[in-house]
């Protein structure tokens, strides 16, 4: 969702929120093919919220669970793009290839 708001100094702030769905996405991490349900195994408490109203007060798409952050550097990806109306944008992952650390990045790029 694209929003324009003003901060306390009157400056315009632009915000773009994109909801993604990566369940059942073909995924390769660090050169290893992951199971189709890898995201469920990684974060079993993160269940998708079917509310697509884009309520910005409570981060739509998650059930308010907070935990560890996993940073994935995406090298290649393919997405289906859904734009149901003018202010909403949804991405459904088709294929993601990424790495978790710098050493695997160098290996994927052929530096080592």
pLDDT tens string 46-77: 665 555 444 444 444 444 445 566 778 889 99
Query: Is the pLDDT score of 14 beyond 90?
Result: no
Contact 18, 91 (CB under 8 A): yes
Name the strand (E) or helix (H) holding 52: none
From residue 16, give the alpha-carbon distance in Å to each of 5, 11, 31, 80, 97.
11, 17, 31, 18, 24
Per-residue tokens: 15: 């915000």
**Number of domains composing the chain:** 1
Tell me the residue range of the domain where 93 lies: 2-109
């Amino acid at each position: 969702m694209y929003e324009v708001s003003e901060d306390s100094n009157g400056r315009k702030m632009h915000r773009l929120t994109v909801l993604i769905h990566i369940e059942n996405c073909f995924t390769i991490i660090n050169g290893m093919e992951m199971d189709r349900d890898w995201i469920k195994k990684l974060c079993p408490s993160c269940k998708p919220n079917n509310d697509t109203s884009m309520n910005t007060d409570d981060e739509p798409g998650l059930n308010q669970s907070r935990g560890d952050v996993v940073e994935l550097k995406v090298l290649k990806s393919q997405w289906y793009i859904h734009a149901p109306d003018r202010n909403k944008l949804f991405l459904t992952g088709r294929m993601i290839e990424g790495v978790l650390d710098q050493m695997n990045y160098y290996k994927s790029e052929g530096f080592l």
